[in-house]
Amino acid sequence: MLQANNVSLQFGSRVLFDEVNIKFTKGNCYGIIGANGAGKSTFLKILSGELEPNKGEVVIDKNERMSTLKQNQNEFDDKTVLETVLLGHRRLVEIMEEKDALYSKEDFSEADGIRASELEDEFAELDGWEAESNAEALLNELKIGEEYHHTLMADVDAKIKVKVLLAQALFGNPDILILDEPTNNLDIKTIRWLENFLLDFENTVLIVSHNRHFLNKVCTHICDVDFGKINLFVGNYDFWYESSQLLARQMRDQNKKAEQRQKELMEFIARFSANASKSRQATSRKKELEKLTIEDIKPSSRKYPFIEFKYEREIGNDILTVEGLTKKGYFENVSFIVKKGEKIGFLTNKSNRVTMLFDILAGKETADSGTFSFGKTIIPTYLPENNSEYFEGCDLSLVEWIGQFSKEKYEQYLRGWLGRMLFSGQEAMKKASVLSGGEKVRCMLAKMMLEGGNFLMLDEPTNHLDLESITSLNKGMTSFKGNMLFITHDHEIMATTANRIIELNETKEYDKEIGYEDYLDQQYKD
């Protein structure tokens, strides 16, 4: 059991947490969500003891061991891969080192013998004799072969380091496992492996992640960090989001009878309970969902941008034809035809390949050879991954900035569009050059909506966005009726939007009219 009692944290005049009381219990997986800057990672640091609160305390059962996912990839550069994993159970390593020191003494005393006996007993209790073989087995499951086990961390690739640090956190069956953005920089197969690991994990897990699919797959509860408070909800991310949205709609519809509102909510809970029963992890989630009352569900105070892509010009049958497109150093002889209604999700081993393809199609770059042509009815619009050219050195206010891309120039109209993207009041007058990464992306999305294109190209559109914006973007992409080319690391967007998958590496290696989940089932069978 892990518990925060009256925890408060303040930086200067800013109150990050105010008298937070929350308990985390065995057998549950808690997803920690919140807007960018809300303090999710800071809260994990308080729980792990890395950061002291101004007030209150964190309580952990005396005999329970906590493990955290380290973020510094270079922290263990002087250790071998196997040693790094073993350090996930620091007490076990301390015992091993003390034992070795005692047994190497030339003047081994009676007191040393007593101490050695105590250490051996504790060592056995911690399954120390199996520690190295267990660590090796864990590394092998993560596809880190024996040839790396005794290699210094300084000498292994960054992609391997990430998996080693994950193995370190998971090693030794910790009682409490804290994972901050565990899916970052992991390949698809490793993420699927981690999902299955956590589904079978019987102790307490706390996760901060922007990966909604991951949160939906493994979480039994959601902890919402909002306005200095942390509210606990039963269910996964989708349940939290959909239930709060349903309640918000009902609150806006004051004319709807209380009995009807209650019926809708109960049907909603029952539906999610049924879905939860399909997951191994969800035994406790299902039981708790079934016990929920209407009073247990509360609407979220979160604000979501409104993202909806509409176009005026109807799309003909001729969309986009690419023939033998080549760009030296990126790809060669790439050909494909886009058909009406297709939303093509791109996959690649190097994201700059797809960026270059999109830049060529958008007219920002030129191919070395090959051709492409859009149909006469097609109006393409592009969200580039690098949007710096639109903001660097720009002295315009946001109203003036968005006005560049609008036929209508009067201020109230432009403010309406900015308001959709959560820039209201004085926020609309801030300089475009001082925006955060997420704010810039929201402005670029507003630009796309104003342009009214019927053919969208989006290059990693979720970069810098918080969960609220990603969720809204996902809805906008799935509801869009035109054509789309996109690349994203967001599993949920890929799974709900793409109806065709193209793998673009040096050449076009895969191209099928298939959804993302079916693609994964084909390529990465567990």
Which residue, 265, 273, 268, is CA-closest to 235?
Answer: 273
Cα–Cα distance, 205 to 214 (Å, whole number): 13
Contacts of 315 (CB under 8 A, 6+ apart): 340, 375, 377, 378, 454, 455, 482, 483
Question: Helix and strand tally (H, E) in the chain?
Answer: 19, 18
Query: How buried is 370 (Cβ within 10 angstroms: 0-12 exposed, 13-18 middle, 19+ buried)?
Result: middle
pLDDT tens profile 340-357: 999 999 999 888 999 999
pLDDT tens profile 309-337: 999 899 999 999 999 999 999 999 999 99
pLDDT tens profile 362-418: 999 999 999 999 999 999 999 999 999 999 999 999 999 999 999 888 999 999 999
H helix intervals, 253-366: 258-276, 283-291, 351-361
Domains and CATH numbers, the chain: 1-64+175-302 (3.40.50.300), 320-396+434-523 (3.40.50.300)
Cα–Cα distance, 61 to 470 (Å, whole number): 37
- Indicate the helix (H) or strand (E) that contains 440: helix 437-451
Q: In the prediction, which pLDDT does 365 show?
A: 96
pLDDT tens profile 181-223: 999 889 889 999 999 999 989 999 999 998 999 999 899 899 9
Residues 498 and 515 sit within 8 Å (Cβ to Cβ): yes
Q: Is the pLDDT higher at 80 or at 104?
A: 80
pLDDT tens profile 143-174: 999 999 999 999 999 999 999 999 999 999 99
**pLDDT exceeding 70 applies to what percent of the chain?**
90
- Residue 501 scores a pLDDT above 90: yes
b/e sequence 41-73, b meaning 16+ C-beta within 10 Å: ebbbbbbbeeeebeebebebeeeebbbbbbeeb
Residues 244 and 235 sit within 8 Å (Cβ to Cβ): no
- Indicate the helix (H) or strand (E) that contains 299: none
pLDDT tens profile 459-476: 999 998 988 899 999 999
Contacts of 411 (CB under 8 A, 6+ apart): 399
Q: CA end-to-end span of the chain, whole Å?
A: 32
Q: In the prediction, which pLDDT does 212 show?
A: 92
Q: In the prediction, which pLDDT does 272 show?
A: 61
Cα–Cα distance, 334 to 336 (Å, whole number): 7
Q: Is the pLDDT higher at 291 or at 2?
A: 2
If you average pLDDT over every residue of the chain, what do you get?
Answer: 89
Q: In the prediction, which pLDDT does 431 show?
A: 93
The answer to which of 121-130, 276-285, 400-409 has the lowest mean pLDDT is: 276-285
- Residue 279 scores a pLDDT above 60: no
pLDDT tens profile 412-448: 999 999 999 999 889 899 999 999 999 999 999 999 9
Query: How buried is 469 (Cβ within 10 angstroms: 0-12 exposed, 13-18 middle, 19+ buried)?
Result: buried
Which pair of structure tokens corresponds to residue 276? 């939860």
Q: In the prediction, which pLDDT does 13 show?
A: 80
Residues 261 and 274 sit within 8 Å (Cβ to Cβ): no
Residue 429 DSSP label:
G
CA distances from 2 to 64, 67, 68, 200, 517 (A): 9, 12, 14, 20, 36
Cα–Cα distance, 151 to 142 (Å, whole number): 16
Contacts of 125 (CB under 8 A, 6+ apart): none
> What's the pTM value of the predicted model, to 2 decimals?
0.82
Q: In the prediction, which pLDDT does 475 show?
A: 95
Band (278; pLDDT cuts 50, 70, 90):
very low
- Residue 132 scores a pLDDT above 80: yes
Q: In the prediction, which pLDDT does 413 show?
A: 93
Phi, psi (deg, nearest 5) at residue 9: -140, 130
Q: In the prediction, which pLDDT does 302 show?
A: 75
Rounded-to-10 torsion of CA 144, 145, 147, 150: 50
- Residue 277 scores a pLDDT above 80: no
Mean pLDDT in residue range 240-264: 70
pLDDT tens profile 39-77: 888 999 999 999 999 999 999 988 899 999 998 999 999
b/e sequence 384-408, b meaning 16+ C-beta within 10 Å: bbebeebbeebeebbbbbbbebeee
Cα–Cα distance, 6 to 217 (Å, whole number): 31
Q: How is 96-129 classified by DSSP, letter by letter?
A: HHHHHHHHT-TT--HHHHHHHHHHHHHHHHTTGG
Phi, psi (deg, nearest 5) at residue 346: -100, 140
Mean pLDDT in residue range 279-305: 61
Band (254; pLDDT cuts 50, 70, 90):
low
Which residue, 348, 352, 310, is CA-closest to 330?
Answer: 352
Which residue, 168, 106, 165, is CA-closest to 131?
Answer: 168
